[in-house]
Amino acid sequence: MNIEATAVPDAYRITPRLLTDDRGSFHEAFRSDALERDTGHVFTAAQYNHSSSRRGTLRGMHSVLLPPGQAKYVSCVRGSVLDVVADLRLGSPTFGAYTSTVLEAHGGTGVFVAEGLAHGFVALTDDACVSYLCSTAYVPGTQVDVFPLDPALGLPWHLGLTGEPLLSPKDAAAPSLARAADLGLLATYDECRAHYARQRRTR
């Protein structure tokens, strides 16, 4: 598999090598040892989630308070989505930067999202199914939501939308980027770097 850095430090695009024959294809979707070797990030899955979405559904932007923090490996296992990762770590040299990737089930490409980054996607097909490997189990009260259509984020949802997005009530009511910062919901860049270093030391 190929692990590629993106415009957002600590977010990586992972493209597998497909083995194909007349029956279809097979690929290794993810390897934690390869991620650690190529990026220095230690990742062990503690929870596995799926979401299924109608075309035009927008889910995001989501993160988790640090601590506990939550890294994710995200892939699309049915249909396709426009996946977006944004750097919302306060004090980051690339604060506000984002990267987008079209994830398609037949291609197998996935995205690794380190702790402190925000993630979301818009479904490009009906019944798009997204898979998430998460480094920590869900802890009520630790989810961080930022309004995905906040102009301050400037995210490229228009590339995947033909009309108004379908948002959950929670995402529609999420705070703006500025309000999330005022509420103390965003991790700092230094906190995240220290967290990544602790993970490596306790490996």
Partners of 121 in the β-ladder? 59, 83
Q: Going by DSSP bridges, is the β-strand pair 128-134/47-53 parallel, antiparallel, or unpaired?
A: antiparallel
DSSP 186: S
Work out the angle at residue 38's Cα, subtended by the Cα atoms of residues 93 and 138, and round it to the nearest 5 degrees: 70
Cβ-Cβ contacts under 8 Å for 63 (sequence gap 6 or more) = 70, 88, 116, 117, 118, 119, 143, 144, 146, 186, 187
Partners of 57 in the β-ladder? 166
Cα distances (angstroms) measured from residue 41 to each of 1, 8, 16, 35: 16, 14, 18, 6
Residue 171: which of 197, 200, 147, 202 has the closest Cα?
147
Q: Which of 12, 98, 132, 189 is catalytic?
A: 132
Q: Which of 41, 62, 119, 195 is catalytic?
A: 62
Helix ranges, 22-162 (H): 32-39
N- to C-terminal Cα separation, the chain: 23
Catalytic residue at 132? yes
Positions marked active-site: 62, 132
